[in-house]
């Protein structure tokens, strides 16, 4: 079952260690796809971009965050790899634009001015709490059907230590703060995070 989530801790880009799986060309293609997903929905037409790469067809978890005039405007993601990456980007981009209940629906005029940031997640794996590396690992804590996820950059942005990161992920799941040491499942992942500004800064407008 696909899990869609709007992450209240939106991704940033500065100073975040992350894997370097995708080339800058591939990053540009994925960001262009996210923009096209939103614009095509607002213009009531089919998506005109095709991403034939086998890597884009592999199932991956992904989050799309959109900003308008440097302010968070929406963030939605799939923490689990239940859809091909290209489809996950389309669906999370549209979700961030139109389904994040913290914000009103994005308009066509706004869509032409937004900036997009993508977080492509690695597969989840069980992790001991003491092995969590701040800035490298994101967390998914689950227990009794409740689940909370925070991306790797969140503890750095807030100045949290490892224990606080674990506690806040439990809080996100609606669990007691100490659930991570009293029966909850702790899973870790990494994320490759990039956005429109990164691509332009590296010479790919």
- Residue 42, classed as helix, strand or coil, is helix
Model confidence band, residue 79 (pLDDT cutoffs 50, 70, 90):
confident
**Cβ-contact 149, 171 below 8 angstroms:** no
Q: Which of 1-10, 103-112, 123-132 has the lowest mean pLDDT?
A: 1-10
Burial of 73-82, coded b for 16+ CB within 10 Å and e otherwise, reads bbbbbbbbbe
Distance CA 161, CA 156 (A): 9
* Residue range 24-122+192-201, CATH number: 3.30.700.20
Residue 203: predicted pLDDT: 52
Q: Which of 44-58, 96-110, 113-127 has the lowest mean pLDDT?
A: 44-58
* Nearest by Cα to 202 from 63, 57, 22, 38: 22
**Bigger pLDDT: 175 vs 199:** 175
- Residue 14, classed as helix, strand or coil, is coil
Mind listing the pLDDT tens digit for each residue in 181-200? 999 999 999 999 999 987 76
Residue 104: count of CB within 10 angstroms of its CB = 11
* Nearest by Cα to 75 from 97, 43, 49, 48: 97
Domain limits, CATH 3.30.700.20, in the chain:
24-122+192-201
Mind listing the pLDDT tens digit for each residue in 8-55? 444 443 333 445 789 999 999 999 999 999 999 999 999 988 776 788
Q: Which CATH architecture has domain 125-189?
A: 2-Layer Sandwich (3.30)
**Containing H/E element for 6?**
none
Residue 17: predicted pLDDT: 40
Cα radius of gyration (the chain)? 17
Residue 84: predicted pLDDT: 94
In DSSP notation, 158-204 reads HT--HHHHHHHHHHHTTS-TTGGGTT-EEEEE-EEEEEHHHHHHTT-
Percent of the chain exceeding pLDDT 70 equals: 87
**Bigger pLDDT: 116 vs 48:** 116
pTM: 0.78
Distance CA 38, CA 32 (A): 10
Which two structure tokens, joined as six digits, stand for 116? 């997009």
Domain limits, CATH 3.30.1490.150, in the chain:
125-189
Which two structure tokens, joined as six digits, stand for 162? 């490892």
Distance CA 163, CA 181 (A): 10
């Amino acid at each position: 079952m696909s899990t869609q989530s709007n992450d209240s801790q939106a991704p940033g880009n500065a100073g975040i260690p992350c894997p370097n799986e995708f080339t800058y060309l591939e990053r540009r293609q994925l960001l262009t796809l996210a923009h096209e997903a939103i614009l095509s929905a607002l213009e009531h037409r089919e998506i005109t971009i095709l991403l034939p790469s086998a890597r884009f067809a592999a199932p991956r978890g992904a989050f799309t965050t959109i900003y308008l005039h440097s302010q968070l405007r929406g963030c939605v993601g799939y923490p689990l790899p239940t859809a091909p990456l290209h489809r996950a980007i389309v669906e999370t981009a549209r979700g961030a634009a139109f389904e994040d209940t913290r914000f009103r629906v994005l308009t066509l005029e706004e869509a032409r001015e937004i900036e997009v940031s993508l977080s492509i997640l690695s597969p989840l794996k069980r992790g001991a709490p003491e092995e969590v590396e701040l800035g490298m690992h994101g967390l998914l804590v689950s227990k009794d059907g409740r689940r909370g996820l925070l991306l790797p950059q969140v503890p750095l942005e807030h100045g949290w230590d490892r224990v606080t990161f674990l506690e806040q992920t439990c809080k996100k799941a609606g669990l007691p703060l100490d659930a991570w040491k009293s029966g909850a499942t702790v899973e870790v992942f990494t994320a490759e995070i990039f956005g429109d500004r990164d691509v332009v800064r590296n010479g790919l407008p």
